[in-house]
Amino acid sequence: QTFEKLLIANRGEIACRVIKTCKKMGIKTVAIHSDVDANAVHVKMADEAVCVGPAPTSKSYLNMDAIMEVIRKTRAQAVSLNVSICCSFLSSLSLQASEGVTFIGPDTHAIQAMGDKIESKLLAKNAKVNTIPGFDGVVKDADEAVRIAREIGYPVMIKASAGGGGKGMRIAWDDEETREGFRFSSQEAASSFGDDRLLIEKFIDNPRHIEIQVLADKHGNALWLNERECSIQRRNQKVVEEAPSTFLDPETRKAMGEQAVALAKAVKYSSAGTVEFLVDSSKNFYFLEMNTRLQVEHPVTECITGLDLVQEMIRVAKGYPLRHKQADIPINGWAVECRVYAEDPYKSFGLPSIGKLSQYQEPLHVPNVRVDSGIQQGSDISIYYDPMISKLITYGSNRAEALKRMEEALDNYVIRGVAHNISLLREVIVHPRFVQGDISTKFLPEVYPDGFKGHKLTDLERRQLLATAASLYVAEQLRSQRFLGTPRIPIAKSKRSSWELSVHLGDGIYPVAVSKHGSSFSVEVDGMKLNVTSEWNLASPLLSVTIDGTQRTIQRISRNASGETSIQFLGTVYKLQILTKVAAELSKYMPEKAAEDTSSILRSPMPGTVVAVSVKPGDMV
């Protein structure tokens, strides 16, 4: 027996995740939504849904008065919250507590203490938790920031006290960068959290980001549920996570777990939470922050422990003691999570993309795959909310098996209508450094110093792509000659069985010879013959192709009448042009469309709001 009705003050995949567990526990759910989210998946999944305002989060999902009114109107007994509103929600919650409404999460003291990075660091020190050297107070202005940074020693990290999710964070290597970082971080902190207070601490170069999942009840019991490795990041936001970590030995894991539990007990924590650490190459670890919520990456912990963390949070909120002891918490197998974003990975490892999902198909047919998403085919990815499409999780008995499943799942994930980061995710999980576990928070800039450019084809992979594209072209030509039904005029069947083609890929033009043998094609590229077989279901967004015994899952993204086609191969989309030999010879007479002259245009690389214009007419630039 827990609650009859629970209100979820959140949206997207995490709201859907909470609803799934509520259904399993027999709890009715109330969703809130903005007007643009009226047809969102979480709204359809919930038993009731109420609109709380227009699209901007400050007027809907962070609109305290509207949410409190919904709680009263729907008579919800419990509330599961969006982390951003926790602190500003506290005064309202204390009023509701007298009316019998329970918050699914820790109490107000723990949220306030851990939500403030300055206070949380002092509490961690008192609880004998290792902390990063730095200034424990609030930095007043840019001059004080420079003085403190000089005392600590460069490089330093300037952080928003109330921050999270990589917002309001800057690394400074000298006085000038400290002044600039102070200005930008305080602006970003004020707009994101309504709190412009900053702190400064020593920046640990080349660390790993490893966090410990904790679970505590209202009876003084607390457990650590092993670690999550979250070192693959861009702009201080996690991209790939896994559990357990390849780096930790049992002794370090135990020491980190015990310090995390000590901190949870010090603030009388009661719910699921995450204690984040930076770990250097010598396995020294330092407290970073505590997140008083269900983390985005919680599924990997659920996979290796077998626990449902949402269910545990609801039980704890009702006042039940934990069902498990520390010795009961296992590490069974290995789990990997990739955050699939509507982002262009070729721009700064991912700048947001907006649009409608014209086609969407999750790879749930692949064994041991879990997809936590809050969207469906036809959903809009808008400028108002986080561009996350889903969390893709794979599980295996060991790391190699989990990574192999992830590779297969990414190849089988169909997303059309927006740019997405599947190509980057796939490159990361197959990279030799990642496979060996040689990673840090600098992995992406170190591996791709000039930015991400997509998969670089080997000679064999290039031949496989050319052979597949040529076979696809011929299969389509043959399909276009077939007539369904019985035509009134008899048609002479084509006896043609070989084709001479010219394929343009990148900077090269390759002659390709194709001959048909039953349902397979023999393709000659670079003087080498490859055998390509498939069911050639051209209506399917996914095409399983076998090239000389090697199975590949490809996706044809687009094609046009001039032979141009885009194929997703090994995660990356390649543009090709396939012409017959005659058409290729004649194409040199075709006029080429001139590229747009953009020399006098300043074009934004992503949708957004102009917050400052730093020049005026007459300035020297």
Strand 198-202 and strand 134-135: pairing? Answer: antiparallel
Is 289 noted as a catalytic residue in this protein?
yes
Instruction: Give, in order, the Cα–Cα distances in Å from 591 to each of 176, 249, 264, 588, 594.
Output: 52, 64, 69, 8, 9
Q: Dig out the tokens for 71 from the structure.
A: 């709680």
Q: Rounded to 5 degrees, what are φ and ψ at 542?
A: -110, 140
Sheet containing 134-135: which strands, arranged edge to edge?
134-135, 198-202, 156-160, 169-172
Q: Rounded to 5 degrees, what are φ and ψ at 317?
A: -60, -30
Q: Which of 289, 297, 302, 337 is catalytic?
A: 289
Q: Is residue 503 within 8 Å of residue 576, measured between CB atoms? A: yes
Strand 550-559 and strand 543-547: pairing? Answer: antiparallel
> Residue 546 pairs with which residues in a beta bridge?
533, 551
Q: How many CB atoms lie within 10 A of CB 396?
A: 19
Q: How many CB atoms lie within 10 A of CB 454?
A: 16
Q: Dig out the tokens for 91 from the structure.
A: 């005064």
Residues 6+ apart with CB under 8 A from 357: 375, 376, 377, 378, 379, 380, 381, 389, 415, 416, 417, 418
Q: How many CA atoms lie within 13 A of 358 on its CB side?
A: 9
Give the residue numbers marked as catalytic. Answer: 289
